[in-house]
């Protein structure tokens, strides 16, 4: 045994079944496999394994053994002259005794139970987990002579050589396998492998009752005791070898009405079987003089024996007999033994698990735990804001992009929102662990929620003014540093700014961009309003109707705000150099992009106003004005082309959507506006201009086909159409973009088709003549192109040809 309880043996001396180091744990699982392997021949016969070395020992020179090893008989003493430590310890020991006696007299602390003569020097002690200090608290301690043998390399754990003497005499007895020993230990140790403190409490309680308590708590991982000791002690009727020594510092409470008078400290009893010389001098008030104990000493072994007697008829709950003795195990049937071993393995596994878990017990103070909890709370709060899930507004404010993006793209949410509200008892009953984990999680989240709410609700006191003091104390943190200057912001409503703004032109860049942002913020506010739309009120539910009305009111005021910031209703200044604010608004990409969103939130009247505005200013629209073909250049610059594409993608569908539902008189009015207010030939040379004209013409055609047009309206339309046709006829060749090879001219053919359908036969004739050259060119050009591109071009032309009752096929 080493001083610190470390493993002192060399690896080669270890036999696996021996005691483990202080920090090692036994592996109970390893035994399961072995248990199965040994089922058939679980008895290792000593005769089979003993190599007979013991017979070769020369016995004739044993006389000096005592001199060498000092073992001698029970009454041989080596004296204690060298024991300086022991002498010193006696003094402190007396003090300790006094304390014990005091505690005994004091009823509150009279918990130190009577102690039998614990087998302190039993060989098993050298194998137990101990600090190694115990013995040094014993003034009479002489280093255990048997323990020394390990220093010589004679392992006490090696079964064969050491066990030879006792085992040989009972050769028929089987050797206990490791698992049997363990099994026995477990039986006795019950299975409360709780930490030492609990074991102590347990034994304290037990000791108060008269019945002897042998089922001492056995800390798991307790090193198994080698079989030879087991045998020896069972034969002697001694304490079971599996008997653990309680952890250091704990009184050994083997219970039972021992022969010792109560109140005798442990060390005294340990001393009892030492020679008289080594007895500590008894204090004058000593309760039990050591001499009185000596005659009783021989009785000691018998007492535990009674308790140790195995009760064969005892059975555990599951019908498997309680095994306290390996003998029993052997008597069992194969089946029972298997069941027992399985049972044992299970228990061992569980105990091992508990032991592993219990190792960390008491490692963290409550403060540490609080600290960790705070960190975890922080993480939870930070993670995806799932705490605030109940408050969609807060989530949107903090996490707008992610939330909306997830909705649009259907991205899986990382943290599914917990179902708020009370715990779900139905679940927790039905599927145990899962639900329990859920509940924990929920409870945690609720706690976090409360914590966050509390933190939010806490008034943010930025300053502390102590009464009577001259100054203030301002608090600061990293997020809100201490304000050095305290300047009052003027309320924006009072400021002179708005007036100044109105002095400036409404179409300068800055104010246009300001308007744009105003539009966007109104849009966002309206979109938020839509999200919070109350459910449609039911009949008679006055409150719901009230809520709904308020909501509509708000929406309407937002709509008005949006409308104002669009500046559509600004007066039109004829021949002004600066474009109309709304047209300027449309000249920015984000203005164009805003149109679809705006159209969702405005009514038909507002839509027609916007459409009218665009049509009136068609030739000052950037996508028309800048898109005029420049001589020498095949197509407009890249920026303009992008603007045109964006306009076609964003604005045109909205306009088209409205026009397709617009009444005929509005279409007529719009066409009139195009003819009167704009330079038609210029407009017709651009994609957007042609697009709008196509839109109007095709809508008129649809109305006519459907027979919805009154005669009067139709007359008006034809009149306007004739004017348009006459205006356009001269420049029909100019409406094609660039040369024939420059690509996309489909929108032109669409326009021509729309014109052709509405035209009279005479007008169709003129139309064909005007574009005949382009048609022929395109047909011949398409033959030089790859098949798919060629057919594409031809089908474009065919759009027009079909409209006037012809086909490219006819051209040959």
- Binding stretches for another protein (CB under 8 A): 382, 384, 396-406, 408-409, 411, 414, 489, 517, 520-521, 524, 590, 593
Minimum CB separation of residue 528 from another protein in Å reads: 10
Nearer to another protein, 285 or 409 (CB): 409
User: What are the b/e assignments for 627-645, b being 16+ CB within 10 Å?
Assistant: bebeeeeebbeeebeebbe
Nearest CB to another protein, comparing residues 397 and 465: 397
Q: Write out the two tokens for 180.
A: 């049997």
How does DSSP assign 653-721, residue by residue?
Answer: HHHHHHHTTS-HHHHHHHHHHHHHHS-HHHHTTSHHHHHHHHHHHHHHHHHHHTT-S-HHHHHHHHHHH
Of 285 and 489, nearer to another protein (C-beta) is 489
- Our CB check for another protein shows the closer of 363 and 485 to be 485
In the complex, least distance from residue 562 CB atom to another protein, rounded to whole angstroms: 15
Question: In what helix (H) or strand (E) does residue 407 lie, and over which residues does it extend?
Answer: helix 392-409
Closest approach, Cβ 406 to another protein, in A, equals 7
Nearer to another protein among residue 303 and residue 598 (C-beta) = 598
Report the distance separating Cα 485 and Cα 129, nearest Å: 69
Which CB, 297 or 476, lies closer to another protein?
476
| Of 136 and 402, CB closest to another protein | 402
For another protein, which is the closer residue by CB, 405 or 475?
A: 405
Task: Identify whether the C-beta of residue 217 lies closer than 8 Å to the C-beta of residue 244.
Answer: yes
Give least dist CB 408 to another protein, A: 7
State in angstroms the smallest separation of the CB of 626 from another protein.
24
At which residue do the structure tokens 């139970």 appear?
Answer: 113
Rounded to a whole number of angstroms, the minimum distance from the CB of residue 387 to another protein is 14
Contact 693, 684 (CB under 8 A): yes
C-beta of 53 vs 397, nearer to another protein? 397
CB of 399 to another protein, least distance (A): 5
Q: How far is the CB of 565 from another protein (least distance, A)?
A: 14
Min CB(414)–another protein separation in Å: 7
- State the burial class of residue 459 (Cβ atoms within 10 Å of its Cβ: 0-12, 13-18, 19+): exposed
* Residue 369 main-chain phi, psi, to 5 deg: -65, -40
- Which of 372, 411 has the CB closer to another protein? 411
Residue with tokens 């043996």: 9
**Residues 699/662, Cβ–Cβ less than 8 Å:** yes
Give 233: exposed, middle or buried? Use CB within 10 Å, 0-12, 13-18, 19+. Answer: buried
Longest dimension (CA), the chain: 148
State how far the Cα of 547 lies from the Cα of 223, in Å rounded to an integer: 76
Residue at token pair 């006094």: 98
Q: C-alpha angle 627/630/635, rounded to 5°? A: 60
> How far does CA 600 lie from the centroid of its chain?
40
8 Å CB contact between 293 and 260: yes
Nearest-approach distance from CB 510 to another protein, in angstroms: 17
Of the pair 362, 416, the CB lying nearest another protein is at: 416
- Cα–Cα distance between 530 and 328 in angstroms, integer? 81
Of 567 and 592, nearer to another protein (C-beta) is 592
User: What is the rounded CA–CA span in Å between residue 394 and residue 670?
Assistant: 46
- State in angstroms the smallest separation of the CB of 563 from another protein: 19
* HEC secondary structure over 411-452: CCCCCCCCCCCCCCHHHHHHCHHHHHHHHHHHHHHHHHHHHH
In the block, which residue shows the tokens 């909890």? 373
Say how far apart CA 229 and CA 233 lie, in whole Å. Answer: 6
Give the tokens for residue 47: 């005769």
User: Cβ 411 to another protein, closest distance in Å?
Assistant: 7
For the chain, give the number of residues.
812
473 phi and psi, to 5 degrees?
-110, 120
């Amino acid at each position: 045994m080493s001083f610190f309880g470390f493993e002192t043996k060399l690896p080669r001396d270890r036999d696996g079944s021996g005691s483990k180091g202080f920090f090692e744990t036994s592996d109970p699982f390893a035994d399961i496999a072995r248990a199965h392997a040994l089922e058939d021949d679980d008895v290792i016969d000593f005769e089979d394994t003993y190599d007979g070395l013991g017979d070769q020992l020369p016995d004739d020179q044993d006389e000096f053994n005592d001199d060498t090893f000092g073992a001698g008989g029970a009454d041989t003493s080596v004296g204690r002259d060298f024991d300086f430590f022991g002498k010193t310890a006696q003094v402190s020991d007396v003090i300790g005794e006094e304390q014990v006696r005091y505690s005994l007299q004091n009823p509150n602390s009279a918990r130190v139970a009577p102690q039998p003569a614990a087998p302190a020097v039993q060989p098993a002690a050298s194998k137990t987990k101990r600090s190694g200090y115990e013995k040094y608290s014993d003034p009479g301690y002489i280093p255990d002579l048997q323990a020394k043998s390990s220093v010589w390399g004679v392992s006490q754990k090696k079964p064969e050589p050491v066990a030879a003497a006792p085992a040989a005499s009972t050769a028929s007895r089987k050797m206990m396998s490791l698992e049997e020993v363990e099994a026995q230990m477990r039986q006795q140790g019950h299975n409360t492998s709780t930490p030492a403190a609990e074991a102590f409490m347990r034994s304290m309680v037990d000791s108060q009752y008269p019945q002897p308590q042998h089922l001492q708590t056995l800390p798991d991982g307790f090193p198994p005791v080698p079989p030879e000791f087991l045998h020896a002690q069972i034969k002697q009727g001694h304490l079971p070898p599996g008997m653990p020594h309680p952890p250091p510092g704990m009184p050994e409470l083997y219970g039972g009405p021992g022969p010792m008078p109560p109140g005798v400290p442990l060390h005294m009893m340990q001393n009892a079987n030492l020679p008289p010389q080594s007895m500590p001098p008894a204090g004058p008030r000593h309760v039990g003089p050591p001499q009185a104990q000596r005659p009783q000493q021989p009785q000691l072994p018998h007492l535990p024996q009674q308790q140790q007697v195995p009760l064969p008829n005892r059975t555990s709950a599951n019908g498997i007999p309680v095994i306290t003795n390996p003998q029993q195990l052997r008597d069992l049937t194969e089946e029972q033994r298997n069941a027992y071993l399985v049972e044992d393995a299970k228990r061992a596994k569980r105990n091992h698990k508990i032991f592993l878990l219990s190792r960390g017990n008491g490692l963290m103070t409550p403060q540490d735990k609080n600290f960790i909890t705070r960190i975890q709370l922080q993480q939870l709060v930070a993670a995806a804001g799932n705490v605030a899930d109940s408050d969609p507004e807060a989530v949107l404010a903090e996490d707008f992009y992610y939330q909306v993006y997830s909705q649009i793209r259907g991205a899986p949410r990382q943290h599914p929102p917990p179902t708020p509200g009370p715990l779900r008892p139905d679940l927790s009953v039905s599927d145990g662990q899962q639900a329990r984990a859920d509940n924990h999680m929920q409870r945690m989240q609720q706690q976090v929620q409360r914590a966050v709410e509390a933190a939010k609700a806490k008034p943010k006191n930025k300053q502390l003014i102590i009464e009577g003091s001259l100054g203030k104390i301002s608090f600061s943190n990293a997020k809100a540093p201490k304000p050095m200057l305290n300047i009052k912001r003027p309320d924006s409503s009072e400021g002179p700014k708005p007036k100044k703004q109105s002095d400036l032109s409404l179409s300068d860049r800055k104010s246009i961009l300001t308007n744009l942002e105003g539009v966007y913020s109104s849009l966002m506010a309206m979109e938020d309003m839509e999200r919070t739309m109350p459910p449609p009120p039911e009949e008679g539910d006055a409150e719901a109707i009230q809520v709904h009305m308020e909501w509509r009111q708000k929406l309407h005021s937002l709509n008005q705000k949006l409308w104002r910031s669009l500046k559509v209703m600004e007066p039109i200044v004829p021949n002004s150099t600066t474009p109309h604010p709304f047209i300027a608004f449309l000249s920015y990409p984000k203005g164009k992009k805003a149109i679809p969103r705006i159209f969702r939130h405005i009514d038909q009247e507002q839509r027609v106003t916007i459409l009218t505005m665009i049509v009136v200013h068609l030739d000052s629209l950037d996508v028309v004005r800048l898109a005029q073909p420049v001589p020498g250049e095949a197509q407009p610059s890249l920026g303009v082309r992008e603007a045109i594409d964006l306009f076609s993608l964003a604005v045109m569908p909205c306009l088209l959507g409205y026009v397709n539902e617009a009444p005929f008189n509005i279409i007529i009015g719009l066409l009139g506006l195009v003819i009167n207010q704009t330079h038609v030939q210029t407009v017709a040379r651009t994609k957007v201009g042609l697009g709008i004209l196509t839109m109007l013409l095709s809508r008129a055609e649809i109305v006519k086909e459907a027979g919805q047009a009154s005669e009067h309206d139709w007359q008006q339309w034809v009149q306007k159409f004739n004017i348009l046709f006459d205006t356009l006829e001269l420049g029909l060749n100019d409406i094609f973009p660039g040369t024939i090879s420059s690509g996309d001219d489909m929108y032109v053919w669409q326009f021509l088709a729309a014109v052709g359908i509405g035209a009279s036969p005479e007008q169709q004739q003129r139309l064909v003549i005007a574009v005949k050259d382009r048609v022929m060119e395109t047909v011949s050009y398409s033959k030089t192109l790859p098949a798919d591109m060629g057919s594409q071009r031809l089908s474009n032309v065919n759009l027009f040809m079909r409209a006037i009752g012809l086909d490219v096929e006819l051209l040959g």
